[in-house]
Chain A
Amino acid sequence: MAKKISTPATTDSVPAPAPATSETKLRMPAEEKYAAELAYLASVDKDPRPFAWRLSPRMIRTFVLGAGPGDSFDRPIAQKFFGDASLVERAIVTLASDRGLLLIGDPGTGKSWLAELLAAATSGNSTHVVQGTAGTTEDHIKYSWNVAMVIASGQSRESMIPSPIMTAMQRGEMGRFEELTRCGSDVQDALISILSEKYITIPELRGDESVVYAKPGFNMIATANSRDRGVNELSTALKRRFNFVTIPIVTNKKSEKEIVLFRTRELMARHTITVDVPPTMLDILLQTFADLREATANTTSEDQRLESSLSTAEQIGVLEDALLHSNFFGDKALQPGTLARSLVGTLVRRVPEDVSILNKFWHATAAETEGVKKRKKGEEAATSAAPKGEKSPELEAFVAGGKQALSSFK
């Protein structure tokens, strides 16, 4: 479905790619991965669609947040983004309005994922991406020239290399800008005219060719990291053209659990490993992260904080690492010690500082955590009938594994 549009519009006529599968692409963009779902939703969508969107806002919401039994669809629509529904609604609505969307959040909160989903759902193409770095120039945002062609035949539309954003404008699709605040303020400001005038002028060309207008349906989804927001502060003019949507770190245990499981399953599917994470292990992981977050929140100085943001993505990373390790080098089943080692390995970034922080946490909180677990055990026993008797040995193994991993750092 994505290809249908892209073939006529592209100037560099690429041979039509073979139907995407997970065999040919390591990671498929959202529109290909969920092509069937998108096609289905488009077929049942009866609401008016703004601009040239593929789906109506309500369907996009359903696509992102999943459908329940009450929505009466013929096929299951999985939930793809876990978070506050109103946040997603606000994001969708912003895209339909005149302003760009800026997603802000800590690393690993799912900003880019949400951006990709939204782009896939609105325009069926989420690949018009500019990655913001310290080295991003205005050329990356607007256009550049194919020097050889310019020498051979002069400046023309043919010898021009449009940026992903310009391509998105030409096609009326979503342009994405990752890590907006990483690039310099002057470069950022190139977006101002794109967002307000919705066209790019090319002074080198004359006549009709000198302006590239955005087709209806074009908008910008940018992401910014709240940790290094200070690196390059957005100018007021640019701020005014973006609506800011802040994505919080998921602190709700239940939905965090869902996210971790969902994402880990997906990652493991690549290796054709079926994931079987014992619920107790998942609890231990989540509880440890929750304790770490609490400990981090209680510290006063930056020195006593881990460099990691302790986001959900980190948890997924830890779990993935542990699963892979136990699958390839272990006895298939996930062992608490392995989990602890992965956790320590993932979280230690700066060697003397992070090790000492984790060391303190491990020894101060591990004992306490056991108490917490015991309390929790009582609670859970009331709600679920699962036997919790074996919990404490697992936790012990976990604590021991962590200590061992910590001691291996010099």
Chain B
Amino acid sequence: MNSILDPALLDPALQALRTQLEAAAAAFAGDSAHLGALLRAMIEDVQRATAEPVEVFPVKHHSPASALHMLRRLRARAPKVIYMEGCEDLNASLAGLHHCRFPVALQAFAPEAPAFPADWTPLNVVLPLTEFSAEYQAIAYCLQNPGTTLVFVDRSVDHVFQWMPKGGPPPGEDAGEADDGGDESEAEETAGEGEGEGASTGNTGNLHGGAVGLQIGDMQPTFGDFLDVLLRNAKVRHYSEWWTQYVEGPTLSCDYGTYRQVFFLVGSLLRRIGITEKDRVADCERERYMWTRIREHMKAHKIDPREAMYVCGAIHAVSPIPEFGSKGAAWTVPAKTPTQWFYGVVPSSYAAIERQFSLPAGEVSIAQSMWDKGLQALELKPFKIEAEKKAEGEGKPTVRKKGAAAPSAASVSSAAVEVPAAVSGSGLREFLTRPPTFVAADDEQLMRWCVDVVRLARKHGYNASTADTIAILHTSTLLARLRDRPHPSPYDFQDAAVTCLEKDRVPGRRDVRRLCQILLGGDRLGRVGYESLPPLAQDVYDRLAVLGVNLKSSRIERALLDIQGRPELLPASDLLWRLRYLGAGVRPIMGERTLGHKPKQESWDIEIGKHQGSLIQLGYEGLTIEQVLEKRLKAKAFEATSRAAKALEAAEDSVLYLRSGRLTRELGLRATELLRAELGGNDAPEIFQRVRGLVHYYRTLGMPDWIKDFVSTGYRHYATLLPTAFTDRGTAPRQLAAMLAFIFTQEALAFSMGCERSQLLIAVAQAEPEDPPKIALRWAAQWILGQRSEDEIRADFQHLLHSPMLLPVFPEYMAGFLLALEFTPRISRLAVEFLSRAFAALPDEVLVPWLPKLVVTLRPLGPGVMQTLVKEAGLAFPRELSKLPAWEFSWDRSVPVAPPPAPKARSEAKPAAKATSAAPAVERSPAELAVATLLRAEPATLDALAGLLGVPPTWAPLAPAAEASAATTSAEPDETSDTSEAAEPASVAETPLARLLAAHPDALQALAARLQALA
């Protein structure tokens, strides 16, 4: 059967065709042997497929011709079983097709799949169905007539993923957009389209999301060169156009036998030279699978091959594999992975189908218009999947009616339908030898299109008029003639409309091509009926019914909830918030949900009709929204990489959306557990904010134990971390401030849980910060703990302002100090004081760059802090102009001017000052001593310098104790040797030279360095 056929067995008509083709090959091709072999093989393919006892019905996806022939074939004689290409486990979702408005897609979904690479999950497969496809007609027929069974026989969804290359990108990602380096045919197609518009896919194009798309009867050539040649010779722009013109149109009206043979032939052509080797191998695998399943089913149910029908893509119908046919070789089906799959129906749309399978935009609507036209011309009534109730009511009558209708249908479509199994090859030969016939001209339709598109264009702001109607009609006829078509096709019409109407491209305006698509049917959004929805979605519909908006609408519906007036709306509001959290097509316009907020009025934009798919997908995860939400929150908190802040967020969300004490407690305890294990204070700001909010919220309701637990854990934990956090450069001052804030603001609660302050005291005492902001933070903490008085802090800052070395870092100290505002508003008076002083004292080159930073520091502290600061400032400054002359700062009044550098402050500031070596050193290093000696040996330079400055040159004796004044290695000539360090600044301040030198130490330093180098 599968081997090369004996010519004698061949159908005489096919034999004749074959001879003729061979002659043609010999006449035209340079290398006739190859071409002849190819043509012969193609004829053999046709013969084999025709001879198969199981009636092979070749189809192409969304092909009206296939659908019409399927319709007529089924009306004529019912098979006992229909095997169909399509994932075998999708059988499960067929039941959901009642109550749907097409296009919808059968879906298989696996939220988690450990057997596959992690970045593939969730696995999602869609199989879109349109009304004008052969598969839909067959499914509809089988659903109506229980006498015929429908069996999907293709590899299961699981195998789809199993057979995908593992190393590649996540599947489904490349489905939509063709990547630049990818498939040549795809690139070609987008280039052709690119002229029109890139993003014309409308707003429903992304409906399938990242799902992997499957289709029954995929016949897209994937071999680029073949496609190029085909398109070029046929003078068409893309494959779909070629198909419509040369296969679809002619087969629409021919008899069934010819239809089959033509499809076999085209399928054979594509299979042999039109697709890449990779695809061919994958196809073989699938065909093996399908035939194995068919044989198994036939054996199990004792079905005669003659009573079965096999619906598959024309490419698969002509498969040369040994497993082909009802008597083919055996094959073992590979095992599935243990992945658990959910099945359902999701809405689809024409735009989504086009995007998924990279069809040119508008392709599906053109197919639909052909289907409608075909139905009208043949006076056929299509099968429809209808609601079960109706089907039951009409079940018997349909059968009877069918019986009555069958003869008439048969008479219409002539005897060819009667003998489907044994068609002669004469049809094919005739078909190929006569010039291509096209669908009858429909001038009226064309005229209507021309008029309508002009009207539509005018509505969309084009300057179109009747003159344009005439021009479009004229141009489309001319175009059709140029392209060898007796009658303009929709593509010609589109081109003509674009040529005549499109003048400028105005952004935001629909372009003419898009208008034509709208005219030809436009995008259509499918809808899954209520009865077919998963329980979760039904539940949502039920509970939102109280809002009184049309949930089935594909447009945005606005819902207004006056909860105060109608408290019964509160549950609906809750549900909407939950849906929003899960991202299922609702959007609040007014209203908020925060801890402790009592909703009064809310308004929502509801788009559930359009985002039905996401709601259905939620349905795979649980029975109610609440259950799904709980699952999500738990997953968030309990995943291995979760952090305390995340778990706490989940807990807060559970309070907001679920009001379930049990769940909140569980999540809260998890947060406590995570906090205990945390090493750094990275999340401290977030945790602090959340805990503060939660504690505040619970204060009125009574603290649950978990929050108390969390606070006490946090107190201990952060107190332990403090010493490290103070010194560790990896902890930002903001994080440190948040830790301190946590400790100080939640202290009362923590004490009630048995924490003790001594822990904190020890921790703060341990802290040895080096960064200015952290030092300031420590001062503030010490002040709160009573370890440092206000005056001491003031003195510290005064010192900073007075010491020229420390002046530039003053802003950093201040930044740290301001961070402390978050946990103790008491320092705001001090903060205002220091800021005022700083503005008065800081030189411009320090102050000006600091100001923007100051704003940045203050902003995250929130409006509350700013208010206290402003209030304090208001108290500190005079309120009336008249008071200004007599006014002085409150702190200037109350506190005597702080003694400049207190000893304590000196020691504090030492580390910073040390770097400059300007500070007096009590002991001299040997090198310094050498320099001093050198200077005394060669006094000329310094004497001259002193003379220049107008100071009498006097040299201090070089005694170990007396060098205080000569600390900077230059001799201070007027200096009477003072030994006491404390007295030194006073004496320094007396001479103008010393003051000058102190202000500008660099000159002397440079001098010293130079001298040292010389020495």
Contact with B along A83-96 (1 / 0, CB 8 A): 01111011011101
Interface residue total, chain A, C-beta cutoff 8 A = 34
- The 8 Å CB contact of A97, one of B478, B481, B495, is B478
Q: Which of B478, B498, B502 contacts A96 (CB 8 A)?
A: B478
Cα distance, A84 to B496, chains bound together (Å): 15
Residue of B nearest to A50 (CB): B478
CB neighbours (8 Å) of B471 from chain A are 97-99, 243
Residue A3, interface by CB 8 Å: no
B499 touching A243 by the CB < 8 A rule? yes
One of B139-147, B229-237, B598-606, B725-733 at the interface: B229-237
Q: How many A-B residue pairs have CB under 8 A?
A: 78
Contact A86 B495 (CB under 8 A): yes
Flag whether A408 is at the interface (Cβ < 8 A). no
The 0/1 profile, CB within 8 Å of A marked 1, for residues 101-113 of chain B is: 0000000000000
Q: Is the CB of B237 within 8 A of A85?
A: yes
**Size bracket of the B interface:** 20 to 34
Q: Cβ of A172 < 8 Å from any Cβ of B? A: no
Compute how far the CA of A251 lies from the CA of B194 in the bound complex, rounded to whole angstroms: 9
| Given A87-B195, A89-B479, CB of A236 within 8 Å of CB of B463 | yes
Q: Which residue of A lies closest to B192 (CB)?
A: A84
- In the assembled complex, the Cα of A19 lies from the Cα of B475 at a distance in Å of 38
Complex contact A252–B232 (CB within 8 A): no
Q: What's the minimum C-beta distance from A101 to chain B, rounded to whole angstroms? A: 9
Q: When each residue 140-177 of chain A gets 1 if its CB lies under 8 Å from chain B and 0 otherwise, what string results?
A: 00000000000000000000000000000000000000
Which of B463, B465, B479, B502 has the most A CB atoms < 10 Å from its CB? B479
Chain B residues 310 to 338 lying within 8 A of chain A, measured CB to CB, are none
Closest chain A CB from B164 CB (angstroms): 19
Q: How far is the CA of A93 from the CA of B229 in the complex (A)?
A: 24
Residues of A within 8 A of B500 (CB): 99, 243
**Given A57-B481, A86-B237, A245-B499, CB of A239 within 8 Å of CB of B474:** no
Tell whether B187 is near chain A: CB-to-CB under 8 Å: yes
The interface residues of chain B lying within 8 Å CB-to-CB of A92 are 482
Q: Which residues in chain A, 28-60, are within 8 Å of chain B measured between CB atoms?
A: 57-58
Q: Which of B181, B192, B498 contacts A379 (CB 8 A)?
A: B181
Assess whether A376 is in contact with B482, with CB atoms less than 8 Å apart: no
Q: Is A317 an interface residue (CB 8 A)?
A: no
Cβ of A108 < 8 Å from any Cβ of B? no
Instruction: Give the CA-CA distance A57 to B480 in the complex, in Å.
Output: 11
| Residue on B nearest A255 in the bound complex, by CB | B191
Interface residues of B in 474-513 (CB under 8 A from A): 474-475, 478-479, 481-484, 495-496, 498-500, 502-505
Q: Which of B187, B194, B478, B504 contacts A93 (CB 8 A)?
A: B478
Cβ–Cβ contact B482 & A97, under 8 A: no
Q: Nearest Cβ distance between residue A368 and chain B, in whole angstroms?
A: 14
The distance from the CB of B334 to the nearest CB of chain A, in whole angstroms, is 28
Interface SS, B side: helix
Q: Is B983 an interface residue (CB 8 A)?
A: no
Apart from the given pairs A89-B483, A98-B474, A252-B187, 7 other A-B contacts in the complex at a CB distance below 8 Å: A57-B482, A68-B229, A89-B482, A89-B495, A93-B479, A96-B478, A240-B467
Residues on B with beta carbons closer than 8 Å to the beta carbon of A137: none
Residues on B with C-beta less than 8 A from A85 are 235, 237
A25 at the interface (CB under 8 A from B): no
How would residues 916 to 943 of chain B score, 1 for a CB under 8 Å from any chain A CB and 0 otherwise? 0000000000000000000000000000
Asked if residues A94 and B237 are in contact (CB atoms below 8 Å), the reply is no
B188 within 8 A of A: yes
For A57, what are the chain B residues with a Cβ–Cβ distance below 8 Å?
Answer: 478, 481-482
Contact with A along B594-632 (1 / 0, CB 8 A): 000000000000000000000000000000000000000
Q: A271 at the A/B interface (Cβ < 8 Å)?
A: no
List 21 contacting pairs A-B, 8 Å CB cutoff, sorted by A: A58-B484, A61-B482, A68-B229, A68-B233, A85-B235, A87-B195, A90-B475, A93-B482, A93-B496, A98-B474, A99-B500, A239-B503, A240-B463, A240-B467, A242-B503, A243-B499, A243-B500, A245-B499, A248-B195, A251-B191, A376-B181
* Alpha-carbon distance A379/B182, docked complex (angstroms): 9
Do A248 and B194 have beta carbons less than 8 Å apart? yes
CA distance A396 to B495 in the complex (A): 46
Q: Mark B163-202, 1 if CB is under 8 A from A, else 0.
A: 0000000000000000001001001100110110000000
* Chain B residues with CB under 8 A of A252: 187-188, 191
**A376 to B181 alpha-carbon distance, docked (Å):** 8
B464 to A: closest C-beta gap in Å: 9
The 10 closest A-B pairs by CB, nearest first: A252-B191, A93-B478, A70-B233, A90-B499, A57-B482, A248-B195, A243-B499, A239-B503, A93-B479, A244-B503
Interface membership of A246, Cβ < 8 A: yes
* Chain B residue nearest in CB terms to A101: B499
Name which of A57, A61, A93, A96 has the most chain B CB atoms within 10 A of its CB.
A93
8 Å CB contact of B463 from A68, A96, A239, A376: A239
CA gap between A68 and B479 in the complex, in Å: 20
Q: Is A375 an interface residue (CB 8 A)?
A: yes
In angstroms, how far is the closest chain A Cβ from the Cβ of B494?
A: 10
Assembly CA distance A87 to B495 (angstroms) = 9
Nearest Cβ on chain B to A60's Cβ, whole angstroms = 9
Given the known inter-chain contacts A57-B482, A89-B495, A236-B463, please indicate yes or no for A68 contacting B232, CB distance below 8 A: yes
Q: How far is the CA of A57 from the CA of B479 in the complex (A)?
A: 9
Give the residues from 520 to 567 in chain B that come closer than 8 angstroms, CB to CB, to chain A. none
A93-B195 contact, Cβ under 8 Å, with A57-B478, A61-B482 = no
In the complex, the chain A residue whose C-beta lies closest to that of B184 is: A254
Which A-chain residue is minimally distant from B480 (CB atoms)? A93
| Chain B minimum-CB-distance residue to A72 | B28
A85 to B236, CA, bound (A): 8
